[in-house]
A and B are shown apart, each in its own frame.
Chain A
Amino acid sequence: NAGVTQTPKFRILKIGQSMTLQCTQDMNHNYMYWYRQDPGMGLKLIYYSVGAGITDKGEVPNGYNVSRSTTEDFPLRLELAAPSQTSVYFCASVREGNYGYTFGSGTRLTVV
């Protein structure tokens, strides 16, 4: 099992560019999450999904969009990149009622 796979691992964007961070899990988990981690800080929840077709905002959703068309995939979209979005992004998943959250290895994004 691959677990939670995030791509790319690193990316540099220019201000105003757009990109999609990919997240795929092969554990048939219904809950998926996107977090961002700023230097010296804990993780903040951006968006989450409790199943295909259902998404909801977390603590810091501004500037991001998500979709969940399948159980496996939960991409995060940045439409107009800003320097404030420079961060490390983590995707995670868990099966409802379980506590075994699985995290991806992260995407380090720099906006210049």
Chain B
Amino acid sequence: AQSVTQLDSHVSVSEGTPVLLRCNYSSSYSPSLFWYVQHPNKGLQLLLKYTSAATLVKGINGFEAEFKKSETSFHLTKPSAHMSDAAEYFCVVSPYNKLIFGAGTRLAVHP
């Protein structure tokens, strides 16, 4: 069975510092992986997706993620956090046209 584990439930950074949100996946074959963001009381927005093309995936708002098969990881990074990045982030794996969500990481950004 495919699954994702988000290693941190909460991450707190200062504005202007780097962001790292960690995600490990479990899959019996090469998966499709996504990061979604959810701002408070809002719906879900796709940040980026990996579908077996380039291992370094660039997304919206300066976010990127690197697919590392040897480590079964798909960590999300951003060089410099902005206050507007404060939100819940979900790592997602997609087997057979279904999405399986991680538990989420809440990112707090402090001035």
The 8 A CB mask of A31-61 against B (1 = contact, 0 = none) is 1010100001111110010100000001000
Contact yes or no, A42 B103, CB < 8 A:
yes
- In the bound assembly, the distance between CA atoms of A41 and B38 in angstroms comes to 12
- In the bound assembly, the distance between CA atoms of A43 and B6 in angstroms comes to 13
* Contacts A/B (CB < 8 Å), 17 sampled: A31-B97, A35-B99, A40-B103, A41-B104, A42-B90, A42-B102, A42-B103, A43-B99, A43-B101, A45-B100, A58-B98, A90-B43, A90-B44, A92-B99, A99-B49, A103-B44, A105-B43
- In the bound assembly, the distance between CA atoms of A100 and B94 in angstroms comes to 12
Total interface residues on A, using CB and 8 Å?
23
Cβ–Cβ < 8 Å partners of B46 in chain A? 100-101
Segment 37-55 of B: residues with Cβ below 8 Å from A: 42-44, 46, 49, 51
- In the bound assembly, the distance between CA atoms of A33 and B101 in angstroms comes to 13
- In the bound assembly, the distance between CA atoms of A45 and B101 in angstroms comes to 9
Q: Which residues of B contact A (CB under 8 A)?
A: 32, 34, 42-44, 46, 49, 51, 90, 94, 97-104
Contact yes or no, A104 B97, CB < 8 A:
no
Given contacts A42-B103, A45-B99, A99-B51, 11 further A-B contacts (CB under 8 A): A33-B99, A35-B99, A43-B44, A43-B99, A44-B101, A90-B44, A94-B97, A99-B94, A100-B46, A101-B34, A103-B43
- Decide: A33 near B98, CB < 8 A? Known: A41-B104, A90-B43, A103-B43: yes
State the Cβ distance, B72 to closest chain A Cβ, in Å: 18
Segment 89-112 of A: residues with Cβ below 8 Å from B: 90, 92, 94, 96, 99-101, 103-106
